[in-house]
Structure 1
């Protein structure tokens, strides 16, 4: 951690089970709405968790984090476990009156190659994320800063936006919102998503051709 504080209150479960990055990149070429249609519209996070930057879509393996309301010690600890391409998914208890993520943590994420951050709670320093090039999603924005006492956990399943997020699951986000996909299913899922995309292309072409007659 880049903070010299006691993090013994944070439970850590290291894991190495991450999704194939090539498949993740292929999934990220498609809109979240289309992916959702291919999986019977399941796994999409609450619409209350919105993109807070104008940056492009995010996609990566989930590193789940649990924090106490208004406390971000576990997020700091998580940076020691994060790998390039991970997405930090934080259950912040849906608390919106105190931010648990800001510009300093954002800079730490960029230094470690984090692909994005999703918070079921609040963040601050939004303009800094634009400058850093770090896509962030959150339930709210608040200027109030966090505490750093814990407890919390890193690498254990959490709920975020009403969806269970397991370590290593894949999360994809765009301007519409976010979807979580089980890591064991993505290889089988990709052809279904591509099939759905081809179907919609044909359908739109038919509509356009029909309208031009």
Structure 2
């Protein structure tokens, strides 16, 4: 018997527990459009100082892009009971984003969970904690970013929460945010900001393309750099 109340049951949760419904879905065409956007470009358009830090890539292909709706998890360091529950709740393409307090004393996601995630066609894992079974992650097929790794395994006691606001690698993530991750890093974009942000991203891409062309042909843009220096008060 499940010790946790069902999602639809109006019950008082035991201390430390919350299992809430997934955030609203994001249209497939929207996700597909964002999958083509580099994290660095999206980050530039969001102020340049946003995104997870201190997490590293555990899947082998640098070209792999993680893009999907966030299912968030907050768990006691070293415990993965609610992560399993979140994976069962997630839809294909969803990304499991885990706040485990940054602890790397015990792995909370491993190869068996990777197998489950592949079978369920999930979009990947972001773990502010430790993973294990690195050779299995190196087989590819399931993106994973984590704080670190260890052979030491998890408990399954709880408590924990699913689909609440969390902090993962210093990045605030709300359930239902769009997660965008590539070789450069990870962003969470609120779903209600996606349509307004995309035109800015496209303009940024066009501007970068023009700068790249100038750099390739002229070896840099002296006028642009000198103008910036003069704006700082230098007599250039």
Alignment TM-score, normalising by the size of structure 2:
0.83
Instruction: Report if the CA contact (8 A) 1:52-1:136 is conserved.
Output: yes
Instruction: Name 1:203's counterpart in structure 2.
Output: 211
Matching of residue 40 in structure 1 with residue 47 in structure 2: yes
How far the C-alpha of 1:15 sits from its partner, in A, is: 2.7
How far the C-alpha of 1:132 sits from its partner, in A, is: 5.2
How far apart, CA to CA, are the structure 2 residues paired with 1:211 and 1:139?
38
Instruction: Name 1:75's counterpart in structure 2.
Output: 83
| Offset from partner CA, 1:78-130 (integer Å, 9 cap, x none) | 12210011000000111011100001111111111111100001000122123
RMSD: 1.8
How far apart, CA to CA, are the structure 2 residues paired with 1:95 and 1:7?
25
Considering only CA atoms, is the larger Rg found in Structure 1 or Structure 2? Answer: 2
How far apart, CA to CA, are the structure 1 residues paired with 2:3 and 2:140?
28
Instruction: Name 1:151's counterpart in structure 2.
Output: 159
| Structure 2 spans left out of the alignment, 5+ residues | 6-13, 221-236
How far apart, CA to CA, are the structure 1 residues paired with 2:108 and 2:49?
28
Instruction: Name 2:60's counterpart in structure 1.
Output: 54
Q: Secondary structure at the match of 2:116?
A: helix
Q: Secondary structure at the match of 1:193?
A: helix
How far apart, CA to CA, are the structure 2 residues paired with 1:44 and 1:163?
5
How far apart, CA to CA, are the structure 2 residues paired with 1:126 and 1:172?
23
Aligned pairs, number: 208
Instruction: Name 2:31's counterpart in structure 1.
Output: 24
How far apart, CA to CA, are the structure 1 residues paired with 2:134 and 2:117?
14
Alignment TM-score, normalising by the size of structure 1:
0.92
